[in-house]
């Protein structure tokens, strides 16, 4: 009996020790994931800039809910729309001063913008005006796909269940190169970038109106994306109805897609998508073949136009008649920034097809 007790005690102690070691390993992993925080979901109040892109959908939404009175006007879209400068946005609407924040995030799609707006309105954020940029990304990107990507996981997953949202981040430590950048991080070196992020939601680069010198043309190639999200235009309709119901001024526009992406997207059905959008939504269309979209100097690479083109978009949408005409002359295309709706969409699409 004595021998049995001793053996049993040893087994119990061994099991306890194994469990302790195992749990210690888990605790260490969780602490590392929290500390290095590749996507900045744990450091949303004090964002760190490394080579890894943060989850801007979550960070920006949570930040706005923390300061609901600070901003009353918002820009939504994918990372392309992150190059819309603050300079060219309206300063006043019907006597009310506008305070802008750029909510753009990686591959941002209309259904996510709709969800975020709903979250704002449900949590006391007063919204006067909204600008939404969209393009071919809406055609091929699904919300379900983003829910499973740590870079793009929407805030509403956190809203539904904090544990469900954070669990995969607590198991993710990330690349050694990112860990090294966090270990050697000097906040002072990124002070301006951090301030700009919390003041407007983008990088100070958005104020650089220069053009790309000596473009590397292999960065301007593009493949075909497909068009699986056949009903994605309905998410833009939801935004229109939500803004109308809440007295929010809404402006919609399409990106000036670089020609390689634009041509392939049209082959995939982009113009059919725009026709569906136009039935319920009026928008400014910058997706054409023009002097800008065929000149790589107005783009960082195929996917992102430069602020120099972003400011021209703003002049068409918010500028004077003279500014609007000047930009259209530069573009060499009278359809650049044309307003499109149900009554003229067939004419515009016919003209766009003629450009090919």
Distance CA 113, CA 250 (A): 12
Q: Answer whether residue 90 shows pLDDT above 60.
A: yes
The closest alpha carbon to 85, from 182, 183, 204, 230, belongs to 204
DSSP run (H or E) holding 16:
helix 2-36
How wide is the angle at C-alpha 31 spanned by C-alphas 27 and 32, nearest 5°? 120
pLDDT, mean of residues 158-183: 95
Q: Answer whether residue 328 shows pLDDT above 70.
A: yes
Per-residue pLDDT, 3:
53
Structure confidence by residue, pLDDT tens digits, 233-250? 999 999 999 999 999 999
Q: Bridge partners of 333?
A: none
- Bridging pattern class, strands 92-93 and 96-97: antiparallel
The closest alpha carbon to 259, from 297, 232, 228, 226, belongs to 297
The chain-wide mean pLDDT, for the chain, equals 93
Structure confidence by residue, pLDDT tens digits, 149-164? 999 999 999 999 999 9
DSSP 280: T
Structure confidence by residue, pLDDT tens digits, 21-48? 456 677 888 899 999 999 999 999 999 9
The closest alpha carbon to 183, from 39, 41, 37, belongs to 37
To the question of pTM greater than 0.85 for the whole model, the response is yes
The answer to whether 184 and 51 have CB atoms below 8 angstroms apart is no
């Amino acid at each position: 009996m004595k021998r049995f007790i001793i053996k049993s005690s040893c087994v119990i102690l061994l099991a306890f020790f194994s469990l302790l070691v195992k749990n210690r390993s888990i605790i260490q992993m969780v602490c590392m994931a929290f500390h290095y925080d590749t996507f900045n979901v744990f450091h949303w109040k004090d964002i760190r800039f490394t080579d890894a892109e943060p989850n801007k959908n979550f960070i920006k939404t949570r930040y706005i809910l923390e300061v609901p009175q600070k901003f009353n006007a918002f820009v939504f879209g994918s990372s392309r729309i992150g190059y819309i400068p603050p300079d060219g946005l309206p300063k006043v609407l019907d006597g009310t001063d506008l305070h802008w924040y750029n909510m753009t995030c990686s591959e941002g799609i209309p259904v996510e913008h709709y969800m975020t707006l709903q979250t704002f309105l449900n949590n006391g954020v007063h919204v006067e005006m909204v600008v939404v940029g969209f393009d071919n990304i809406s055609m091929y990107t699904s919300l379900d796909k983003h829910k499973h990507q740590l870079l793009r996981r929407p805030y509403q997953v956190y809203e539904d269940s904090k544990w469900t949202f954070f669990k995969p981040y607590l198991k993710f430590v990330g690349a050694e190169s990112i860990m090294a950048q966090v270990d050697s991080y000097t906040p002072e070196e990124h002070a301006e970038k951090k301030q700009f992020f919390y003041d407007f939601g983008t990088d100070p680069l958005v104020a650089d109106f220069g053009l790309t010198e000596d473009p590397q043309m292999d960065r301007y190639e593009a493949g075909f994306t497909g068009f699986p999200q056949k009903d994605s235009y309905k998410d833009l309709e939801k935004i229109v109805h939500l803004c109308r119901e809440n007295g929010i001024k809404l402006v919609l526009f399409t990106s000036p897609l670089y020609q390689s992406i634009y041509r392939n997207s049209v082959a995939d059905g982009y113009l059919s998508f725009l026709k569906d959008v136009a039935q319920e939504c009026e928008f400014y269309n910058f997706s054409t073949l023009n002097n800008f979209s065929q000149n790589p100097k107005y783009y960082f690479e195929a996917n992102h136009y430069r602020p120099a083109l972003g400011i021209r978009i703003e002049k068409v949408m918010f500028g004077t008649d003279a500014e609007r005409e000047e930009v259209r002359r530069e573009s060499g295309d009278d359809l650049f920034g044309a307003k499109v709706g149900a009554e003229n969409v067939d004419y515009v699409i016919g003209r766009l097809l003629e450009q090919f």
